[in-house]
Homo-oligomer: A and B are copies of this chain.
Amino acid sequence: MAEYQLYCFGESGNAYKAALTLELSGCDWDPIFVDYFNGEARSEAFHQINEMGEVPVMVHGDTTLSQSGVIQDYLIEQTGKFGGTSPKERREIWRWVLFDNHKLSSQAGVTRFLMNFIPEDKRPTEAIAFLQARLQSAYKTLNNHLTGREWMVGDALSVADISCCGYLYYPEEFGFNRADWPEIDAWLDRIAATPGWKHPYDLMKPAYPPQKS
């Protein structure tokens, strides 16, 4: 059994943040597939693992953690990687992880879900338009921040980058067009050029479309 286990599925950008941190840190880890679109995350059995009913969940010995930001913080402590070089940088990393959770990944995840993973006649078009407009503001903040920088914080890749990019490599449409945001576009290329980088669907098994169970 690998040292770390990660409950995840391919479509989850939040799980991708944990999986990519594990992978780039060189950790020995295995994915545990969660059959999300057949309702596994909402099951009583899964709620015993995570009362929030969400992936990712990481298990390391006696420690079970959820929330990608907590998992990333724990991995920084374990491996010493991707956590910045000073308390000031660490705070700045946290600031962007929280921005991502509050304004970027949270809204990108639900918008992509609504536009791709529910039947076309059930898609709430006004809510989708509203979320897409809110996301433009988040992309703008990110693009502005990256102007004149290679990485979100300091001079190296950190979990701030690995958090903010969580939903931005997926092929499914959700209103994010890389060509509209040249600084984000170049930064995504830089992250993807990091030795060991992998696309979400190469790290975690997709759960869509759901197989008959």
For A73, list chain B residues within 8 Å (CB). 91, 94
Judged by a CB distance under 8 angstroms, whether A38 is at the interface is no
Distance to closest chain B CB from A208 (angstroms): 20
Q: Are B99 and A67 in contact (CB under 8 A)?
A: yes
Task: Please report the C-alpha to C-alpha distance between residue A10 and residue B121 in the assembled complex, in whole angstroms.
Answer: 41
Kindly identify which residue among B53, B98, B144, B145 contacts A69, using a CB–CB cutoff of 8 Å. B98
Judged by a CB distance under 8 angstroms, whether A89 is at the interface is no
Q: Are B53 and A67 in contact (CB under 8 A)?
A: no
Judged by a CB distance under 8 angstroms, whether A186 is at the interface is no
Judged by a CB distance under 8 angstroms, whether A126 is at the interface is yes
Q: Which residue of B lies closest to A106 (CB)?
A: B102
- The SS class assigned to the A binding surface is helix
Judged by a CB distance under 8 angstroms, whether A196 is at the interface is no
Size of the chain A interface, CB-CB below 8 angstroms: 34
For A70, list chain B residues within 8 Å (CB). 91, 94-95, 98
Q: Report which residue of A66, A70, A102, A124 has the largest number of chain B beta carbons within 10 angstroms of its beta carbon.
A: A102
For A88, list chain B residues within 8 Å (CB). 63
Judged by a CB distance under 8 angstroms, whether A188 is at the interface is no
Task: Please report the C-alpha to C-alpha distance between residue A91 and residue B72 in the assembled complex, in whole angstroms.
Answer: 11
Binding site for B on A (CB under 8 A): 51-53, 63, 65-70, 73-74, 88, 91, 94-95, 98-99, 101-103, 105-106, 110, 124-127, 130-131, 134, 141, 144-145
